[in-house]
């Protein structure tokens, strides 16, 4: 997976690219994530990339030419171009899975009052990470990159990603580790039984129960299996 991020703050990404799973994925050759300084694609004095908007208005707007030149330089035949924007569809695990099947992502990070609207003719989609205002698109770009990267084969253990919360639509079941008991707080006995089939059934039920309790809004988006319908009916009555 190749990800190119166009930003005026490439240093913002240094800790992200040099930490934990993302760092290992890059070192092991499963990920190729690079940041690109937008100012390098400006032909103006002092590499200027912003100006006042036509028609007036508060603040500065990021100019079209630097983005055009950056995209022209970085775009490959397989590139899928994303602009982080509050106008886009809200990012979720389904979208992360969809993007993980792409070979090349280019992510544009806006700033100030946004980007000249002509850039919309060059992109494939706009993505928002939530209904709130951020200073720039750098954090959304990191969130998208992180969520997508962990789905790339080899980046993390496949079983780990398959059982993540929201991967199948449900929240993940509760998990515990040693010691069995501490100050009266005990691990559920079922997990100490060694009976894998019973443990698996318990975990499925707990996932449904957690989702119903904490994020009931998610259930309407899940295509339920017959087993899940029975579990949901059971936990709803408890």
To 5 degrees, how large is the angle CA 226–CA 147–CA 118? 115
Catalytic choice (86, 92, 126, 146): 86
| Cβ neighbour number for residue 49 with a 10 Å cutoff | 23
CA distance 9 to 61: 16
Q: Is 164 a catalytic residue?
A: yes
- Give the CA distances from residue 24 to residues 13, 70, 103, 144, 155, in Å, rounded to whole numbers and listed in that order: 15, 27, 19, 18, 7
Q: Is 86 a catalytic residue?
A: yes
Q: Is 11 a catalytic residue?
A: no
CA atoms lying within 13 Å on the CB side of residue 194: 0
Catalytic choice (69, 113, 126, 146): 113
CA distance 64 to 84: 15
Listed residue (134, 155, 157) closest to 146, CA to CA: 155
Catalytic choice (10, 150, 205, 228): 150
| Cβ neighbour number for residue 186 with a 10 Å cutoff | 12
Catalytic choice (146, 164, 174, 210): 164
Read off the tokens for 173.
């079941």
Listed residue (98, 235, 87) closest to 170, CA to CA: 235
Residues classed as catalytic: 86, 113, 150, 164
């Amino acid at each position: 997976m190749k990800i190119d991020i166009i930003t005026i703050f490439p240093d913002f990404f240094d800790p992200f690219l040099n930490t934990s799973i993302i760092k290992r994925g890059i070192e092991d050759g499963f990920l190729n994530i690079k940041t690109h300084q937008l100012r390098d694609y400006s032909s103006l004095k002092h590499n200027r990339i912003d100006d006042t908007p036509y028609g007036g208005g508060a603040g500065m707007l990021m100019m079209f030419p630097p983005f055009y030149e950056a995209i022209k330089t970085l775009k490959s035949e397989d590139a899928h171009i994303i602009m982080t924007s509050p106008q886009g569809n809200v990012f979720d695990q389904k979208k992360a899975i969809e993007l993980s099947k792409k070979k090349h992502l280019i992510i544009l990070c806006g700033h100030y009052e946004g980007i000249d609207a002509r850039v919309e003719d060059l992109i494939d989609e706009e993505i928002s990470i939530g209904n709130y205002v951020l200073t720039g698109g750098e954090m959304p770009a990191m969130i998208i990159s992180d969520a997508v990267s962990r789905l790339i084969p080899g980046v993390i253990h496949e079983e780990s990603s398959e059982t993540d919360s929201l991967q199948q639509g449900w929240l993940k079941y509760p998990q515990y580790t040693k010691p069995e008991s501490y100050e009266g707080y005990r691990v559920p006995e079922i997990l100490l039984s060694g009976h894998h089939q019973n443990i698996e059934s318990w975990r499925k039920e707990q996932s449904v129960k957690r989702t119903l309790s904490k994020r009931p809004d998610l259930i309407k988006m899940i295509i339920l299996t017959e087993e899940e319908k029975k579990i949901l009916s059971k936990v709803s009555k408890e």
